[in-house]
Every structure is written in C-alpha cells, then in structure tokens.
C-alpha cells in the first residue's frame, strides 16, 4: 500500500542515454579542474597509476573530486530533465 503511494509521488527521471553520459563526464572533468585549483595539498597520499590523466592528483584527491563531480552531474541531469531539456 505505502509502496504504491510512493511510486505515484516519485518524479519521472530521464532514462540513460549517451547525452546523459556526456553530461556526467563533463561534470567530472569540471570537478577535477576545480579540485586541482582549490585543494591545498593535492599530492598528499598514494599516487594514481596514470597521474597525468588526473592532473597529478593523488588517489584521495581524485576520489574526492569525482565524488563531487557525480553530485554536480546528478544535479545537472535532474535539473535539465525537470526543465524538459533531456
């Protein structure tokens, strides 16, 4: 009973498409760029295997910036789908 009520109230979300994937990748690149310029000690901790791909950031910095990128991406995708742009 409660589940059916919650399902009727839940907003419609966009299905996955290459456009949504591109938006998420762009948001993660943006977050890495923001993190590289704002993190005080971006090289502290274990290094990434291909550190040049991630702007020379350490493992912890990459995990933090990509988590932030996913938050940005989810907000962007939900906002664009709410506006009807996706």
Q: Is 7 helix (H, G, I), strand (E, B) or coil?
A: helix
pLDDT score for 21: 93
Residue 21 covered by a domain: no
Residue 15 covered by a domain: no
Tell me which DSSP letter residue 40 carries.
S
Nearest one of 45, 37, 40 to 63, comparing CA atoms = 45
Model confidence pLDDT, tens digit, residues 12-26: 677 888 999 999 999
Residue 78: domain span: 57-86
Q: Report the number of distinct structural domains present in the chain.
A: 1
Nearest-angstrom CA–CA distance, 8 and 78: 18
Place of tokens 């991630």: 54
Nearest-angstrom CA–CA distance, 21 and 26: 9
Residue 86 covered by a domain: yes
pTM for this prediction: 0.76
Axis-axis angle for helices 59-83, 18-38 (nearest 10): 130
Residue 8 covered by a domain: no
């Amino acid at each position: 009973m409660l589940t059916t009520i919650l399902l009727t109230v839940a907003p419609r979300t966009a299905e996955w498409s290459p456009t949504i994937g591109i938006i998420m990748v762009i948001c993660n690149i943006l977050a890495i760029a923001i993190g590289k310029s704002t993190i005080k000690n971006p090289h502290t901790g274990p290094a990434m295997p291909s550190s040049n791909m991630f702007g020379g950031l350490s493992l912890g910095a990459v995990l933090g910036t990509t988590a932030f990128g996913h938050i940005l991406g989810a907000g962007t995708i939900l906002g664009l789908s709410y506006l009807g742009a996706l």
